[in-house]
Each structure stands twice: as C-alpha cells, then as structure tokens.
Chains A and B, each alone.
Chain A
Amino acid sequence: MRALTYHGTKDVRVDTVADPEIINPRDAVIKVTSTAICGSDLHLYDGVIPGTLSGDILGHEFMGEVVEVGQKSTLKKGQRVVVPFTISCGKCYFCEKQQFSACDNANPAEKQDMTEQLYGHAVGGLFGYSHLTGGFSGGQAEYVRVPYSDVGPIVVPDHLEDDKVLFLSDILPTGWMAADNADIENGDTVAIWGCGPVGLFCIQSALRMGAERVIAIDHYPRRLELARQAGAEVIDFKQTNVTEALMEMTGGIGPDAVIDAVGMESHGFSLGDQAQAFNLADTIKQTVGIGADRGGALREAIFACRKGGRLSMPGVYGGFLDKFPLGALMEKGIQVKTGQTHVQRYLKELLQLIKEQKIDTTFMISHRLPLEEAPRGYKNFKDNQNDWTKVVLKPGV
C-alpha cells in the first residue's frame, strides 16, 4: 500500500510499504477514505517529539471502511467508521473511568519504558505518533490495522459525508474536551490561544457550553477571521499586547478561563512582553535539541487568567519548560486540566450534534489533496499557516 512515512525533520514521503494484517483477536483493518494532517503532526514533522523513526507511518486522524476483522472484533466488513486517535483497551482501570488516553494496556510493554522514565508513568497508545506512544502505524495510508476495534471506532451513517465526521477522530473532541476542562460557567469570558483547528473547535465548544464571550488570539489574519466566524472576538498578538488587552477587555478582572490551544511550538517573542520573552530562550533550546518545550502562549495564558480561574491545556507538550510562572499559578489559585483527549468519551454526543446539524465541522478545511501529495500538505500547513488551515488527504485518488 501507499503511506506517508517519516524520514527525518521536515522530510516526509509517500512510500510503498507492506499492507497491515490482523494480528490480535480484537483487531480490524480499515481501508482509509479520508485522513487529515493535524497540528500535532507538525511537532513530529519539526522533529521536536523524540522517538520517531525513519519509515514510521504518520497520521492519527482517519476514517474509512472496515475490510477485515479479527475474531473478537465487533465490527463488520463494509461498515463505515471513524477511528479515535487514542488507542484504548476499554477494560483497564483508566478506560473504565473514561480516561481513555491514559489506557494502561494499549502501549506495548516494551515501548512503555521510554515514557515511564520521562514522565514517571507510561502513556497510552496513539496512532502514528512516535514510539513513545507505542509506535503504531498511522492513518495517512491506504490501510490501517486498528487494535481494540470493539472499543474505539464509531460507526457513522452513510448520509453524513466524510468531511462532516472525519474530525470526530481528534480535533472536534479535543476542542470539546478543552472547553469541558475549562469548567465554563454561565457568563464566563474564555480566552483561547491559537486559532488553528483545535482552537477553532474550542471556540465553538466554549460558546455551546455557556461562555458569554470568547476572545481568541493568533497572528494569522485568515485564522483570526475564522475565529470571528465561529463567534469569537479576536486579538492579533503581533499587533496588540495580549495580557494588557485581555485585562482591559474584561474590566481588569481577566478571563475566567484560559485555553492553550498552541502547545510546544509557540510562535513569537515580543521582547517588551515578559510572558513572551522567555519563548526565545525556549526556541534556542528546542533548536539545539535538549528536550525543551516552547511555552510562550502557555506563560501568557497563566499571566492573563483571573484569580481563581481555570487553565485548560489541549496544546501538546513533550518535555520540560523553563521559566514556568509557577508563582502566578499558585498565588492566583488557578486550576489546571490537560491531557491527550479521551476521544471515546465524547463520540456519541458529538456525532449526535453533527446529525442534528448543531455544529459545523467543516468550516476550517482549506485544502483537499490526494494522499500522494501529502508532503506538499505538510510543508504548507507548516509554512503557510495563514491560508492552509486544515488539510484533508484522500488515499487512492
């Protein structure tokens, strides 16, 4: 089959590789009809997540048709399914608590050592997201082996086209959980850093959950425009000092909840701005490769958050962060919630909202490319963020 494989920093190619097979009884094999490039893939593309090897198939947002099932799979050949990017056994303590991305059993035993040393505990399994999360072959391919297929994939009705349901695999539940984690109360003002696909879904979700106002921050006009379209007021951080603006826009209170939908590769380091300035040091460390995260947006979010407010962090981090405003976090009594999304927890509810046309899941798609052109998709989603807001790939075209 054809698949998008990693060859090194900013070097991904479409190669011919062996087709996947059923290995365990609960497996299924999916023929991919649509798959997307995610902001998380850019962290791999940029080489800031360790444990990605040459030849690894990337991609964790995908859907398709069931073509093979193991004897314990509950799926049937021919069914159309969306597959969560989190691989979860459904039976361990965490899965039973609906903390699916913390599953104890999906990440293979021999791969668990790395994160056990890095984080104190082994993390769960993810598709196409380095050997830290299991080394599972990803979905930017013609076929994917899907473990625990009786727990993850959700069957979608034929009348909903791919574009409408594809993002159930990750960014839609990610934006939803981020808003959920912000514990939004009626009348709240929520500030969201990053107007990429995740940030945009955060805006939509926060408003649905009762936020009075959402203020979204980015520096790309096109993305800020989309944020506005989703119902947010916007701040361009290249144009305006963000913390100051947020204070003034909230009568000196600050946002009740702040959401970091940027993650470890925060842009910008305006030197006049304390929270952002350290981002420069982070960048240099990341460039020389010593496991440092770049946390400009996160620092700014903590600075801006009101006393007793809440910080929700869907943005991905992998290592260590210096100059973390721990004092601000503690002294202001800010609550923190974060994590890889527990996708399976939200699927039914979100599919229902899509069916009832209560949420728009397609407005950020800017490009649809054949899988063969995936490398061009990566390059532009990375270098041309203003116009390339979300890329959907079609295998076999």
Chain B
Amino acid sequence: MLKQYEHWQRTGRNDPLPRFALFAAAGTAIALLAFAAKPLLTSSSAERRREFDDDAPRRLSREGEGSPAFVGKSVLINRPRAELYDFWRDFKYLPRFMENIRAVEVNGDVSTWTFAAPAGQTVTAEVEVIEDRRNERIAWKSTPQSQIATKGAIDFRDASAGRGTYVDALVEYTPPACAVGRAVADLFRREPHVQARHDMKRFKMLMEAGEVSTSRRTRHDS
C-alpha cells in the first residue's frame, strides 16, 4: 500500500485528480452513512402499502414492524417432504439444530423442552402437539404449567419439480410471569430473526448434508 501511495505521490502530486478523488471518497463515505442512518421507508409509503395486498408472507408486512413476539423463516431444502416431516415430528432431534433448546424429552403426546437461560440456568416448557397433518404441517403449544410460553407451527410444501421442499416455520414466545422466564424471553427476542435464520439453516444443513457445518478446528473450540 505504501508503495502504491508513493507511486501516486510521484505521478499525481500536482494534479487536481487526487483532491477530486478525496472528495469522491468522502462523498461515498457520507452517502453510506446516510444510507445506514435512514429508515428504509417513511411512514407515508407504509401507509400507501395498505391499499394493496401483495403476495409476500403477511408476517413480513412493514405494518407489523416493531412487535417481534413471533418470528417466521422459510427455507428451501433439497429433500423430499416426508423425510423432513418425519425428522421434525420427532422433537427429540430439535436440540441438534435449535440453538436455544438444550434437550427435549418425549413422553407420548407431551414433550418437555429445556431452554438455555442466562447465567447457565435453564427453563422448561411442556409442549403438546395441537395439529398434525402428515407430511404437511405440525403445530405445537406449551401448556399453562410451563415456565415459558411458546407456540409454533411448521409447514412443508413441495417446491417445483426436483427442487425439494419449502419449509415455513413460525414460532412465538410470550413473556411469562417469573423473572427467569422474562430473561429468557428477552434472550429470544433480542434477535429473534437471527435466531430463527440460524436454526432453520442448521436444519437445512442437517437434512441435506447430514451434519451441521462448523469451522471449529478442535472439539474444544468455542
């Protein structure tokens, strides 16, 4: 870089271009800052949106921004629908790709999900399946005695020929009464979309590649 710089000084010292270039650089930096600072849409265009219903998933509507009690994520997975349904239906596999779920114990229709909580603690939810359509949809809901309230659904749809299955997940966490529960809820809601995105990508990896990708070099790396 230094060499480049010297070369530039040698060739362009008395030329107007360096100054122009600096302005251009500064201009770009300012434009980038402005872009970062500016909300993507003003309220007026959000209002305008309401006059028309587009075909994007409802959950993405800008109207609902700022109430991230539930999150959704869609992934296209290069496997047949039945295989994905079977894997998901057996809740004991969830900890293999859902970061916040430490363990799942299945007892018939009810299962106990253990979530990681701050400061090394855990909270549990008793979860029952409320809808089960083979190879199409699974929906679940926590029972009132759970430490954290959660509900969710996952849908499986065929993609066009040879492209596998669209998997749509929708999960909701409600702040429970107890203090730990609140902390957990905060944890989930800090970056719920990021969480959902990572979890669904790991599900895809596990289904397509048979393992969850990692760049760790040793088993003890974090």
- In the complex, whether A107 has a CB less than 8 A from a CB of chain B is yes
List residues of chain A with CB within 8 A of the CB of B197.
109, 113
Q: Contact flags (1/0) for B185-222 with A, using CB distance below 8 Å? A: 00000000010011101101100111111111111100
Measured CB to CB, the closest approach of chain B to A101, in angstroms, equals: 15
- Shortest C-beta distance, A57 to chain B (Å), equals 8
- Asked if A111 lies at the interface with its beta carbon under 8 angstroms from chain B, I say yes
B52 part of interface (Cβ distance < 8 Å): no
Specify which of B17, B197, B205, B209 lies most central, judged by the most chain A CB atoms within 10 Å of its CB.
B209
What total of A-B pairs shows CB separation below 8 Å? 130
Contacting B at CB under 8 A, from A34-69, are 46, 57
B8 A280 Cβ-Cβ under 8 A: yes
Query: Are B218 and A21 within 8 A (Cβ)?
Result: yes
Asked if A110 is an interface residue, CB under 8 A from chain B, the answer is yes
Q: Smallest CB-CB separation from A90: which chain B residue?
A: B209
Contact B28 A322 (CB under 8 A): yes
Kindly report which residue of chain B lies nearest to residue A291, judged by CB atoms: B32
Known: A20-B218, A24-B211. A89 touches B205 (CB 8 A): yes
B24 touches A281 (CB 8 A): yes
Q: Are B25 and A285 in contact (CB under 8 A)?
A: yes
> Does any Cβ of B come within 8 Å of A383's Cβ?
yes
**Contact residues in B for A147 (Cβ distance below 8 Å):** 213-214
A117 vs B154: C-alpha distance when bound (angstroms): 26
Distance to closest chain A CB from B165 (angstroms):
12
Interface residues of A in 98-127 (CB under 8 A from B): 104-113, 125
Chain A residue numbers with a CB within 8 Å of B217 are 18, 20-21, 57, 137, 145
Contact, CB under 8 Å: A108 / B214: yes
B residues within 8 A CB of A322? Answer: 24, 28
Within the complex, the shortest CB–CB distance from A188 to chain B, in Å, comes to: 34
Knowing A89-B208, A92-B78, the reply to whether A290 touches B28 (Cβ < 8 A) is yes
Please pick, from A91, A145, A281, the residue contacting B78 in the complex, using a CB distance under 8 A.
A91
- Give the contacting residue for A269; candidates B3, B11, B215, B219; CB below 8 A: B11
- Measured CB to CB, the closest approach of chain A to B6, in angstroms, equals 12
Collect the chain A residues with CB atoms within 8 Å of residue B12's CB.
269, 271, 280
Given contacts A125-B213, A280-B18, contact A21 B205 (CB under 8 A): no
Q: Kindly state whether residue A245 has any CB partner on chain B within 8 Å.
A: no
Specify the chain B residue showing the minimal Cβ separation from A113: B194
Cβ–Cβ < 8 Å partners of B208 in chain A: 89, 91-92, 104-105
- Given contacts A106-B213, A108-B214, is CB(A280)–CB(B194) below 8 Å? no
In the bound complex, residues from chain B placing their C-beta under 8 Å from that of A148 are 209
Complex CA gap A39/B21 in Å reads 27
User: A96 an interface residue at 8 Å Cβ cutoff?
Assistant: yes
Q: Which of A91, A280, A290 contacts B209 (CB 8 A)?
A: A91
Does B139 have its Cβ within 8 Å of any Cβ on chain A? no
- Decide: A93 near B78, CB < 8 A? Known: A287-B5, A383-B3: yes
**Contact across chains for A109 and B210 when beta carbons are under 8 A apart:** no
- Structural contact, B21 and A281, CB atoms closer than 8 A: yes
Please give, as numbers and ranges, the residues of chain A lying within 8 Å of B5 by CB-CB distance. 283, 287
State the CA gap A90–B194 with chains docked (Å): 26
Q: B1: CB under 8 A from chain A?
A: yes
Contact partners of A26 in chain B: CB under 8 A: 209-211
Q: Is B22 an interface residue (CB 8 A)?
A: yes
Residues in A neighbouring B209, C-beta threshold 8 A: 26, 89-92, 105, 148
| A284 close to B (CB within 8 Å) | yes
Cβ distance A150 to chain B, nearest Cβ, rounded Å: 10
A interface, size bucket: 35 or more
Give the docked Cα–Cα distance between A285 and B1 (Å): 12
Query: A18 with B198: in contact, given A92-B78, A147-B213, A322-B28 (CB under 8 Å)?
Result: no
B210 to chain A, nearest CB (A): 7
- A280 nearest CB neighbor, chain B only: B21
Within 8 A of A (CB), among B157-204: 163-164, 194, 197-199, 201-202, 204
| A18 and B218 contacting across the interface, CB-CB below 8 Å | yes
Say yes or no: A109 contacts B201, CB within 8 Å.
yes
Q: How far is the CB of A75 from chain B (nearest CB, A)?
A: 16
Whose C-beta in chain B lies nearest to the C-beta of A270?
B11
Tell me which residues across on chain A come within 8 A of B3, comparing CB atoms. Answer: 383
A334 to B75, CA, bound (A): 34
Which residue in chain A gives the minimum CB-CB distance to B97? A109
**In the bound complex, how far is the Cα of B212 from the Cα of A135, in angstroms?**
15
Instruction: Judge whether A105 and B205 touch: CB under 8 Å.
Output: yes
Inter-chain CA distance A283–B12, complex, in Å, is: 13
In the bound complex, CA of A24 to CA of B197 (Å):
22
Interface 1/0s, chain A 145-174, versus B by CB < 8 A? 101100000000000000000000000000
B219 CB to closest chain A CB (Å) equals 5
B213 touches A89 (CB 8 A): yes
9 pairs of residues in contact across A and B, judged by CB atoms under 8 Å: A18-B217, A24-B213, A91-B78, A108-B212, A125-B213, A134-B213, A134-B215, A267-B4, A292-B28
A-side residues, CB < 8 A to B, are 9, 18-21, 23-26, 46, 57, 72, 89-93, 96, 104-113, 125, 134-137, 145, 147-148, 267, 269-271, 277, 280-281, 283-288, 290, 292, 320, 322, 383
A25-B211, A136-B215, A288-B25 are known; give 16 further A-B pairs, CB within 8 A. Answer: A23-B214, A23-B218, A26-B209, A26-B210, A26-B211, A90-B209, A93-B163, A105-B209, A112-B201, A147-B213, A269-B11, A270-B11, A281-B21, A284-B18, A285-B24, A292-B28
* Residues of chain B whose beta carbon lies under 8 Å from any beta carbon of chain A: 1, 3-5, 8, 11-12, 15, 17-18, 20-22, 24-25, 28-29, 32, 76, 78, 163-164, 194, 197-199, 201-202, 204-205, 208-220
